[in-house]
C-alpha cells in the first residue's frame, strides 16, 4: 500500500472495539506495540502514514476505521529517581497505568497524587490533557517529561513551563503533537512534595469524608474517598463503555456568567484567576433535557450528564450525532458553546 518498509512488529488490520473505553467498532490499517524508545525510532520512516499514539484509549472516539499507523504506548517502568529535603521524584514509563502509579506511590508512603485516583488512562497521556479531578491537576505534581522527536530521533526534555499547562490543555494539544505523533512522550517525572497538604475542599470529596467521619484524612483515606465518589457517579467503562467527561467545562467571559446567573441562579460557576468563569457543563446538559436521554445506541449518563455512554452496539457516527445534538440544545438554551474533551479521530 505505501511501498515503505515497516518493521516486523507492526501488525495489520487490527480491530479497535476492545482498544478504547467507548468500545466503538473499527479497524486500524497498521498497529504497533511500543515497549521501548528503539521501537519508536524504527517506525520513524512511516511518516508518510497518518499516525496516532494510543494509550489505553480512555479519551478517544474512533468515528470509523483508522487508515494509518496506531502506536500503542506500552513503555513501562516506575522508580524513585531521587529525593531531597523537599520532595520525592518519581519517574514512570508512558505506558504505565495511571491509577496503578497513584496506588503504588501511596503504598510507598509518597503522597501527592491521591486526588487523581481511579482516573482511567496511561501516564504518558496524563500531561497531554493535564488530567485533573477533585481540586488537583497533574500539572501540580509534574516535574518534567521525555519525548522522542520523531524526525530527528532525539530525546527532548520538557519542564513544567515548556508544557504550557492549562485547564485540560498543554503544549501537546496546542501544537497538535497528539494528532500526528511527531513528538511522542516516553517517560514522565513527578515531584511529590514532602510538605504534604490534604486537598479536601471539593464539594463531593468533602461530603464523602464527612460521611466517613474522617476529620484528618491520610492520603490513602483521600484516595479511598475519591474512589468511592467516582464509583458512585461515573460509569465503570468495563461495564458501561464511556470516555469520561465528553465536553470541557466551558470558560466564559465574566459578563456572560453574570447574565446567566441572573436567569439561572443555581448554575454552578467557578471564577478563574484571569476573570473568566468556568461553568458546569453537566448542569447545562442536564438543564437542556439530556440527562439520562438516549439517541440511537448512545446517551448521556443518568448519574452524570457530562458523560456520554455507549448503551451497546453504538457506531462512531452515533456518538458524533449525539454530541452535536447536545451542543445545539445547550447553545439554543444558554448561548454557550460546548467543546468535546476526547480526541475524535
Nearer to ligand EPU, 37 or 344 (CB): 344
**Least distance CB 119 / ligand EPU (angstroms):** 7
Among 80-88, 105-113, 152-160, 299-307, the segment contacting ligand EPU (CB under 6 A): 299-307
Q: Binding to ligand EPU by residue 56, rule CB under 6 A?
A: no
Q: Binding to ligand EPU by residue 237, rule CB under 6 A?
A: no
Strand partners, 179: none
Q: Binding to ligand EPU by residue 249, rule CB under 6 A?
A: yes
Q: Binding to ligand EPU by residue 133, rule CB under 6 A?
A: yes
| The binder of ligand EPU chosen from 166, 280, 320, 325 (CB under 6 A) | 280
C-alpha cell at 175: 501544537
| The binder of ligand EPU chosen from 282, 299, 316, 340 (CB under 6 A) | 282
Q: Binding to ligand EPU by residue 329, rule CB under 6 A?
A: no
Radius of gyration (Cα) for the chain, nearest Å?
21
Go through 133-158 and write b for each residue having 16 or more CB atoms within 10 A of its CB, e for each that does not: bbebbbbbbbbbbbbbebeeeeeeeb
C-alpha to C-alpha distance for 187 and 284, rounded to whole angstroms: 37
| The binder of ligand EPU chosen from 158, 248, 316, 326 (CB under 6 A) | 248
Do 71 and 36 touch, CB atoms closer than 8 A? no
- For residue 119, what is the DSSP state? -
Residue with grid cell 463503555, as numbered in its chain = 241
Could you confirm whether 56 is annotated as catalytic?
no
Do 94 and 190 touch, CB atoms closer than 8 A? no
| The binder of ligand EPU chosen from 147, 260, 305, 322 (CB under 6 A) | 305
Catalytic hit among 19, 51, 91, 168: 168
Could you confirm whether 46 is annotated as catalytic?
no
| The binder of ligand EPU chosen from 42, 299, 341, 343 (CB under 6 A) | 341
Strand partners, 344: 61
C-alpha to C-alpha distance for 30 and 24, rounded to whole angstroms: 17
**Least distance CB 206 / ligand EPU (angstroms):** 11
Catalytic hit among 46, 56, 245, 288: 245
C-alpha to C-alpha distance for 187 and 6, rounded to whole angstroms: 24
Among 149-157, 176-184, 215-223, 243-251, the segment contacting ligand EPU (CB under 6 A): 243-251
Q: Binding to ligand EPU by residue 244, rule CB under 6 A?
A: yes
C-alpha cell at 235: 460509569
Tabulate helix, strand, coil % of the chain (nearest 5). 30, 30, 40
Q: How many residues bind ligand EPU (CB under 6 A)?
A: 18
Q: What DSSP element (H or E) covers 257?
A: helix 254-263
Residues taking part in catalysis:
168, 245, 341
Summarize as ranges the residues that interact with ligand EPU (CB under 6 A).
133-134, 204, 233, 244-245, 248-249, 268, 280, 282-283, 286, 291, 304-306, 341
Amino acid at each position: 500500500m505505501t511501498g515503505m518498509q515497516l518493521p516486523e512488529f507492526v501488525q495489520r488490520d487490527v480491530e479497535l472495539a476492545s482498544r478504547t473505553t467507548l468500545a466503538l467498532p473499527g479497524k486500524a490499517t497498521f498497529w504497533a506495540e511500543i515497549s521501548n524508545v528503539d521501537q519508536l525510532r524504527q517506525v520513524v520512516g512511516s511518516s508518510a502514514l497518518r499516525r496516532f499514539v494510543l494509550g489505553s484509549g480512555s479519551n478517544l472516539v474512533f468515528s470509523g476505521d483508522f487508515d494509518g499507523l496506531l502506536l500503542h504506548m506500552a513503555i513501562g517502568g516506575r522508580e524513585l529517581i531521587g529525593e531531597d529535603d523537599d520532595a520525592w521524584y518519581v519517574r514512570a514509563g508512558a505506558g504505565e497505568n495511571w491509577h496503578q502509579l497513584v496506588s503504588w506511590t501511596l503504598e510507598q508512603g509518597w503522597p501527592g497524587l491521591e486526588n487523581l485516583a481511579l482516573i482511567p488512562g496511561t501516564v504518558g497521556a496524563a500531561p497531554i490533557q493535564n488530567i485533573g479531578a477533585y481540586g488537583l491537576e497533574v500539572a501540580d505534581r509534574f516535574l518534567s517529561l521525555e519525548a522522542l522527536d520523531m524526525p530527528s530521533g532525539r530525546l527532548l526534555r520538557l519542564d513544567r513551563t515548556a508544557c504550557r499547562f492549562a485547564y485540560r490543555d498543554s503544549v501537546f494539544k496546542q501544537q497538535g503533537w497528539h494528532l500526528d505523533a511527531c513528538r511522542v512522550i516516553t517517560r514522565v517525572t513527578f515531584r511529590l512534595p514532602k510538605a504534604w497538604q490534604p486537598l479536601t475542599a471539593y464539594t463531593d470529596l468533602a461530603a464523602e469524608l464527612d460521611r466517613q467521619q474522617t476529620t484528618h484524612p491520610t492520603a490513602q483515606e483521600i484516595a479511598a474517598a475519591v474512589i468511592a465518589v467516582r464509583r458512585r457517579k461515573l460509569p465503570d467503562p468495563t461495564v458501561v463503555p464511556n470516555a469520561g467527561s465528553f465536553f470541557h467545562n466551558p470558560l466564559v467571559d465574566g459578563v456572560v456568567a453574570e447574565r446567566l446567573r441572573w436567569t439561572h441562579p443555581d448554575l454552578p460557576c467557578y471564577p478563574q484567576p484571569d476573570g473568566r468563569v468556568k461553568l458546569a457543563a453537566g448542569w447545562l446538559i442536564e438543564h437542556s433535557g439530556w440527562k439520562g436521554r438516549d439517541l440511537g445506541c448512545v446517551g448521556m449518563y443518568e448519574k452524570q450528564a457530562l458523560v456520554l455512554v455507549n448503551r451497546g452496539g453504538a457506531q462512531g457516527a452515533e456518538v458524533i450525532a449525539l454530541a452535536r445534538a447536545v451542543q445545539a440544545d445547550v447553545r439554543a438554551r444558554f448561548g454557550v458553546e460546548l467543546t468535546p474533551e476526547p480526541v475524535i479521530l
